[in-house]
Amino acid sequence: MLRLQRFFPYPLIALLVGVGLASVFELGNAYLLLVLIICFSLSFVAAIYQRSKYLYLVVLIIFAGFGMMRYSNWHDAPRDLLLEQQIGESVVIIGVINDEPDIRENSTRLLVSVRSLSTKDADVSVFGRMQISVTRYPAYEYGDLIRVKGKLIHPEKFVEDDGRVFDYPAYLAVEGVHYQIPFPAVELVGQNEGNAILATLFVVKHQFLDVLGSLFPEPENALLGGLLLGGKQSLGTEWQDIFRRAGIVHIVVLSGYNMTIVSEWLVAMFRFLGFYGSLSIGSVGIVLFALMTGAGATVLRAAIMAIIALLARATGRTYTMGRALLVAGVCMVLQNPSILAFDPSFQLSFLASIGLIFVSPVIEVHTILFKRFPVWREVFVSTLATQMMVLPLLLYQTGMFSLVSLPVNMLVLPLIPFTMLFGFIAGVVGIVFPVLGGLVALPAHALLSWILFTARASAQIPYAAVSLPISVLSVFILYVTFSIYLWRAHVSFRSAGRAGVLPLPPSSSTYDKK
């Protein structure tokens, strides 16, 4: 039984490897046939020589093959033949806006669930999902039924500023989008055609954001909207570049990395409520955050990862919750295989959760900093652990390495939960008692000003960030090396007689409780 427990994670890891290989190299059915031949050969060898380790290898290869097959089936899912025949042609399509509009500086992107295609004879029912780009005004909302006229195209790959090719079709496929109509003619046909619960959540969200807009100037308003509700108001290219150079761009976008850090700090802030009280506050905070942002698929995935990481850190069951994180990740990938290679939010939340669960205890054991200040010790450990795990991926995605990221995060991250709390209170008071809203907003305004000041000041430091683009192969090598180091750390802890698990930091709630 113990051997099976130890072997349990590896087939799931093999499945993820299979999905990843199929998504990166676009492996077809020929490779699946090769997998079956290898499995049959190893099974034959295992039967003759009675070697169980060959059977273990067969199981791993079978799971990897299953991952390849799942991605192939997802990638090659049938599309509407009538829509495919209209590629490159001017079409008239009726559909429903089935996600929150993505408001940019000069345009708005809408995700539309296609219902029908207008022809000379009649409206023909079709299926699919498309992205359209429209001007910011007139504004459209979730659930609007619209008639769209324009040239129907497939998304295309494009070359980024650093020369890398961005697989935009695969990125949009995460949301099931396979078609685009850039800047079409749009006519509003009807309203309230979406999910009633989501529509209500979006209405509440936008009303709240409108109140925040009346209480806070820009860019404080845009920053607070991103922190509280995943607001998609643009900070502008200048501020985006500043936050990127400062290494805190993750706080202004809706990402699992941000949610994981915030959940960790909610527990630390409310530790005076006891073990179960602080854990409840952290979990409820994550759930409320997911609901207030509209409970989209990306947010729900990040929320699940954050809650698992939170439970692992709070209870000390590192390996148990690590397996739970793996199972949750595998279930999400099976439901939507594209997220493994093409969903940055899923990748960041998964890696940040791994950092909190497995890397934080290792850093805690080897650091002597802030021992007299447990709160700062926790923020240092959690910040360094998560940044170590997400750094290779961020280098690949952005091509920029911030040399001031760690100290800036130390100055900013402890204030994020307070900023969110005071900002939320200001918004609620602004709705109920508009006259008092400006006065109540002063603490949040001060905190937002400090965050913006810190970001700008650090970004102006010479060589605050350097260009350091890396390849997919480099990312793979870095994570393999890091995994080997963590595995060796686990082995050393077990050999030292530490009950088979990595120790939690002495400042954690678990130690206080015991």
Beta partners for residue 102, in sequence order: 109
pLDDT over 50 (residue 1)? no
d(CA 335, CA 291): 21
Considering the domain architecture, whether residues 330 and 467 belong to the same structural domain is answered as yes
**What is the rounded CA–CA span in Å between residue 114 and residue 93?**
7
Residue 289 token pair: 């955050």
Convert the pLDDT of each residue in 272-316 to its tens digit. 777 677 777 777 777 776 766 656 666 777 777 777 767 766 666
Domain C-terminal end among 58, 75, 92: 75
- 451 versus 354: the higher-pLDDT residue is 451
Strand 123-125 to strand 102-103: parallel, antiparallel, or no bridges (unpaired)? unpaired
Q: Which pLDDT belongs to residue 22?
A: 82
Q: Does the pLDDT at position 116 exceed 80? A: yes
Residue 485 makes CB contacts below 8 A (sequence gap 6+) with: none
Torsion of CA 341, 343, 346, 352, to 10 degrees: 80
- Asked whether residue 201 is assigned to any structural domain, the reply reads no
Tell me which of 29-38, 325-334, 451-460 is least confident.
29-38
- 250 and 399 fall within a common domain: yes
Among 277, 278, 308, 302, which Cα is nearest to 290's? Answer: 302
Q: Say whether pLDDT at 499 is over 50.
A: no
Same domain, 244 and 386: yes
Q: Which pLDDT score is estimated for 316?
A: 61
Can you give the residue range of the structural domain that contains 29? 2-75
pLDDT over threshold 80, residue 24: no
Residues 94 and 123: beta-carbon distance below 8 Å:
yes
350: buried, middle or exposed (CB in 10 Å: 19+, 13-18, 0-12)?
buried
**Band of residue 247 on the pLDDT scale cut at 50, 70, 90:** confident
Is residue 379 pLDDT above 60, yes or no? yes
156 and 26 share one domain = no
96: pLDDT strictly greater than 90: yes
Residue with the larger pLDDT of the pair 40 and 172: 172
Mean pLDDT over residues 134-155, rounded?
89
Band (pLDDT 50/70/90 cuts) for residue 500 is: very low
Supply the pLDDT for residue 30.
63
Residues 398-450 pLDDT 10s: 778 888 887 888 788 778 778 877 888 898 888 888 888 888 899 999 999 99
Residue 148 binned pLDDT confidence (cut-offs 50, 70, 90):
very high
210 shares its domain with 343: yes
Q: Are residues 477 and 503 in the same domain?
A: yes
Structural tokens at position 127: 């299926």
Look at residue 48 and tell me whether its pLDDT is greater than 80: no
In a domain, 199, yes or no: no
Looking at residue 113, what is its pLDDT?
92
Residues 121-142, mean pLDDT to the nearest whole number: 87
Q: What is the pLDDT at residue 506? A: 39
Residue 442, pLDDT score: 92
Closest by Cα among 324, 327, 330, 468 to 397: 468
The answer to whether residues 111 and 175 touch, using CB atoms and an 8 Å cutoff, is yes
Last residue of a domain, one of 152, 170, 194: 194
Same domain assignment for residues 59 and 91: no
Of 116-125, 230-239, 317-326, the least confident: 230-239
Q: Domain tally for the chain?
A: 3
69 pLDDT above the threshold of 60: yes
Q: Say if 119 falls within a structural domain.
A: yes
66 with 106, same domain? Answer: no
Residue 200 belongs to some domain of the structure: no
Dump pLDDT digits (tens) for 194-236: 888 778 878 888 888 888 889 999 888 888 887 776 654 567 7
277 and 153 belong to one structural domain: no
Has residue 47 been placed in a domain? yes
The backbone torsions φ and ψ at residue 133, rounded to the nearest 5 degrees and listed phi first, read -110, 130
User: What is the per-residue pLDDT for 512?
Assistant: 37
Can you give the pLDDT at residue 64? 83
Cβ contacts of 111-115, under 8 Å, gap ≥ 24: 111/175, 111/177, 112/146, 112/148, 114/80, 114/83, 114/179
Residues 6+ apart with CB under 8 A from 11: 59, 60, 63
The pLDDT assigned to 161 comes to: 67
Which pLDDT score is estimated for 454? Answer: 93
Buried b or exposed e, range 112-146, using 16+ CB within 10 angstroms: bbbbbbeeeeeeeebebbbbbbbeeeeebbbbbbb
Tell me, letter by letter, the H, E, C secondary structure of 122-139.
CEEECCCEEEEEECCCCC
State the pTM of this model. 0.75
**109 in Cβ contact with 131 (< 8 Å):** yes
Tell me the per-residue pLDDT of 465-488, one tens digit each, with 9 for 90 and over: 888 888 888 888 888 888 888 878
Mean pLDDT of the chain: 78
124 and 107 belong to one structural domain: yes
Task: For residues 51-57, give the mean pLDDT.
Answer: 69
Where does the pLDDT of residue 162 fall: very low under 50, low under 70, confident under 90, or very high at 90 and above? low
The answer to whether position 348 is within a domain reads yes
Any bridge partners for residue 401, and if so which? Answer: 466
pLDDT of residue 329: 85
Q: Is 50 exceeded by the pLDDT of residue 60?
A: yes
Boundary of a domain, candidates 75, 102, 137: 75
Instruction: Compute and round to an integer the Cα radius of gyration of the chain.
Output: 25
